[in-house]
Structure 1
C-alpha cells in the first residue's frame, strides 16, 4: 500500500506487476545521490598560481599540498588551544612569572603586527602561532631570543628609551651564547628554530636602527640557509620561508643594497600573474617612457602590479579579502625583480622603477615599519630622474601630466625618502584643471591604485598640500 503524497513510498509488493508510476518512484528512491559523482568525473583540478619563491613558475597545476597543510605539517607539536592556555604551556626553560608576563603582553602585539595589510588579505596568524609556541617549547635559545624581542619592543617602541634595559641585555646575551652552541652542533645548526632565532635578532637590529648588526645577522642567515640547501629547503614551512625573503628585502631597500636570496642571474623575469587585459597605450609606463620602447621586463612587472591591484579592488567591492599567500608571493616577486634591475640615473625607466618599488611597499610594508620603526626607501637616483623628466616635459600633454600626478602622489604617500614636492604637486593639479577630489580619484584609478589602501593617505596629503601652497593654486578639494 502506498502512502499519499507527491512522492509515495512503496512498502508492499503486490502479486501483480507494479504500475509504471510505482516503478518510477522506486527507481528514484533507489538511485537518489548515486548519479552525483558522474558530473564530478568531468571536472579537472582547479588551476592555481605556482610559487615564485620556489621556482615552480610554470603556469600549471599546483604540485605541492598547499600552504595550509604545509604549515600544519611542521606545527603538529603544540595542541590547538595552547595559545589561549598559557598556564598549561611548558617552556623549554621556565622564564619566571614576571618575565613570562612580558610574553603574555607581547603575544597580541605579535598577532596584530606580524602580518601585513589585513585591509587587503586575511590574517593567517593562527597558522604561525602554533610554530611560535612549538619553538618556545623545544629550544632554550628561542625562549631567551623571544624574551629579548618582546622586551626590546617595549623598551624601543613603547617606552621609547635610548638604550634597552639591563634585563633585556641579559636575555640577548644568553640567547647569543646559546645560538653559538646551536650553530656549532650539526643537528641544530640549520634547524628551523635556529633560522627563526637569527631572523628575530636581525629584526630587532633593523627596528633599533643598528644597521651594522642587522647586516651581520642578515649575512649569517644567508650562510645558514646555504648550508641547509638554500631557500627552497624551507618549502615545507612557508611561514619561515616568506619571513626570510621579507627580511632580505627589508634590509636591502633602506640600505640601497642588493638582496641576497635572488640575484639577477637566477630570477624569473616573466610576468608572474596571468594577464586578463590587453596592454593599454595610456598606462604610466608608456607615458613616462615615451621617447623609447618600454623595457619588456618592466612591462611584465607593471602588469603584475596592475593585475594584483585590480583583484584587490574587486575583492573590496564584493566584501572579500585576498589570500595572504597571494599577496606575499606577488609583492615579493615584484620587489626582488625591481631591486635587481639597473638603469642609468637619468633614464625614465629608473624613475618608474623607484616609484613602482615604492608602490609595492605600500602593499607589503617593510618588516621594521610594522613594529613602529621608521622605514624609508632611500633612492638617490629619484630626485635626479624626476628633475630630468620635468625639464624634458615642460610642455607636457594632459596624458603625461596625469601620469606625473600619479607618480608624485605615490612617491609622497609611500616610504620613499624624497624632498618636499608639494609645490610641484599643486602645480600639476592646477595644470590639469582638477577642481574636486572625485576628479582626482577618477584620474588616479586609471593607473596603479588600490582604493581601500590609498584613498585615505592621498586625501590627507592633498589637504596638507593645499594648506602649504595656498596662493599658488586655486583649486579646492572637496
Structure 2
C-alpha cells in the first residue's frame, strides 16, 4: 500500500514573535525525494493515517491556553480564496501523485477549506448497495424488479398483522402465497427457490409476476376495495405475458418441459389464477400440471423436493374445492385411521395432546372416517399453537404427511346434506379451515372464489339443528370460519346467525368457544375477531 502523504512542519515567521506560551515541538516527518502518493479507498476517501495527520495539523494551536495579553498576538492575514464547489465530474482518481514539496507548502499555508479539497473526499454520502445488487440473476433486473424480489424473500418468522395493508411493508408476499411456511422448517440443502432465481429466466419472471399481482391487490386493499386479484396493472400484465412466452419455449423443449422449474412456474400461475378468480386459467394450468406429474411418474417423482410437492398439493386442494372434483394429482392409497396416533409413536412429535373438550361427545357420534379426520386436524391446531411461541417448526416431510392425510380424506368423503347436514357441514368446514392454513392467508382478505362451495357450506349450516351447547359451539365455529375464507361477512342470514348464537357475549368469550373446536391463534385471531365485530355491528366488511 502506498505511503500516506508526508508533511514537513516548517514554522512560519509569525510563530517566532510568540514567546508565551511555549510552543509544542512537532516531530518532523521525512520527505520523500520525488513524490508522495495519496491513497484512497474505493469510496474516494484518503488513507486513515493521512487523514489523521492532516486533521492534527489543522488543529494545531486551536486548543492551546489563551494568552492574557491578546494585544501581543499577531494576526496573520490570509488571502481570501474562493473554494470551488465539488462536482461529481471533479471526483479525483483513487490514487493521485503530488510532489512532496508542493504538498508540504500547501498544507502549511492553505486554508482549512483548501486542505479539505485536497483530502480526496467525494461529495455527498455514498449509498451502500443492497444485498440483492450483489447477485447476478438469470436476467438483468431493473430497480423495481429487484424490489419485488426483495419482497419475496422468505423470513424466518413473522408475527401476525392486524392490518392487511401492512403486509408488504412488514413481511413478504411469499408468506402470503404460502401461509403455512410459519409452520414447517426448511432444509437449507434442499431449498432451491432462490437458486432458481439466479439460473432460470422463466422462473424469475413468474416470481416477478406473482409478487406484482399481489402488490396490485395490496394497492386495491389500501383504496378500500374488496375482492380478489382482479384488474391487473399494466406492469403486471406485461410480466404475465413475458412469463407465458418463456414458459411456452420451455414446454416446447423436450429437455425442459417437465423439469422442476417448469412444474413450479405452472403451479405459480395456477395459484394466482385461483386467487384472482380466473376459473378458465386455473383449469388450464391444473390440466397441464396433472400431465406433468404423470410424466414424472406421479407425485413420488418429486420426493427430492418436498416444497414443490406441497405446492402441487395446494393446487390440487384448491381445484377440488373450486370444481367439486376429486383429487387429480395425488393418487396414492390413503389410510382412514387416525394419523396422529401413529405419528406420535414413529416421529416423536413435540406435542402433548390436551384433555378432550366438551364437543368430544358429539364427535364420537360421527362416521369414524370423519371423526378421525376431525381429530387429526384438531390435534394439528393444538400442536401449532404450542410450537409458535417458541418459534419451533415441523420437518417438511412430516408436515406434508399430516396435510395430505387430512386433506385427501376430506376430499374423498361426501355425505348427503339432506340426511346428514351436520356431518357434511363439518367436512366442508374442515376443508375451509385447512384452506386458511394451506391456501390463502386471511391476512390479505382473500376468499375462496367457488360459488358451488359457497352455496354448499351455506346450505349445510342452515340445516344444522342446535340441540345443545356443543352443537351451538360447532355451528358458531362454522359461521366464523366461513366468514374468514368463504362468505363476504355482511350477509343478512350470516349476521343473524352469529348474533343469535353469541348473544351478548364479548369476543373474548366467543373465542374460548371456537377454540374448543379448533383454532390457530396466529392465523385466525385477527380475522375471526373482525368477522365477529362486523356481525355485531351489522356493517359491511
Query: What's the TM-score once normalised by structure 1's chain length?
Result: 0.66
CA distance in 1 between counterparts of 2:533 and 2:213 reads: 36
- In structure 1, stretches of 5+ residues that fail to align are 1-82, 470-478
Contact in 2 for aligned 1:310/1:450 (Cα 8 Å): yes
- Report the secondary structure of 2:311's partner residue: helix
CA distance in 2 between counterparts of 1:133 and 1:350 reads: 42
Contact in 2 for aligned 1:116/1:370 (Cα 8 Å): no
- Aligned equivalent of 1:192: 260
Equivalent position to 2:460, from 381, 385, 403 = 385
Larger Rg: 2
CA distance in 1 between counterparts of 2:217 and 2:484 reads: 25
CA distance in 2 between counterparts of 1:165 and 1:324 reads: 38
Equivalent position to 1:93, from 123, 139, 148 = 139
1:76-475 superposed matches below 5 A: 85-96=131-142, 99-104=145-150, 107=153, 109-117=172-180, 121=183, 124=186, 131-158=192-219, 163-166=231-234, 168-262=236-330, 266-274=333-341, 282-283=358-359, 287=362, 293-315=365-387, 319-323=390-394, 325=396, 326-327=398-399, 329-346=401-418, 347=420, 348-366=422-440, 373-376=446-449, 378-390=453-465, 393=466, 396-416=467-487, 419=491, 420-430=493-503, 435=505, 439-468=509-538
Cα deviation, residue 352, structure 1: 1.4
1:20-59 superposed matches below 5 A: none
Contact in 2 for aligned 1:234/1:241 (Cα 8 Å): yes
Contact in 2 for aligned 1:157/1:372 (Cα 8 Å): no
Distance change (3 Å), C-alpha of 1:370 and 1:243: farther
Contact in 2 for aligned 1:207/1:371 (Cα 8 Å): no
Query: What's the TM-score once normalised by structure 2's chain length?
Result: 0.59
CA distance in 2 between counterparts of 1:209 and 1:372 reads: 14
CA distance in 1 between counterparts of 2:359 and 2:414 reads: 22
- Report the secondary structure of 1:189's partner residue: coil
- Aligned equivalent of 1:473: none
CA distance in 2 between counterparts of 1:381 and 1:315 reads: 34
Contact in 2 for aligned 1:156/1:208 (Cα 8 Å): no
- Aligned equivalent of 2:79: none
CA distance in 1 between counterparts of 2:303 and 2:270 reads: 21
- Report the secondary structure of 1:363's partner residue: helix
Distance change (3 Å), C-alpha of 1:233 and 1:412: same
- Report the secondary structure of 1:380's partner residue: helix
CA distance in 2 between counterparts of 1:458 and 1:97 reads: 38
Aligned-pair Cα RMSD in Å: 3.7
Q: What is the aligned length?
A: 371
CA distance in 1 between counterparts of 2:296 and 2:436 reads: 33
Cα deviation, residue 329, structure 1: 4.1
Contact in 1 for aligned 2:299/2:330 (Cα 8 Å): no
CA distance in 2 between counterparts of 1:86 and 1:278 reads: 45
Distance change (3 Å), C-alpha of 1:424 and 1:102: closer
CA distance in 2 between counterparts of 1:229 and 1:126 reads: 26
Cα deviation, residue 230, structure 1: 1.1
Contact in 1 for aligned 2:132/2:146 (Cα 8 Å): no
Contact in 2 for aligned 1:271/1:301 (Cα 8 Å): yes
CA distance in 2 between counterparts of 1:468 and 1:258 reads: 37
- In structure 2, stretches of 5+ residues that fail to align are 1-128, 154-170, 222-228, 345-351
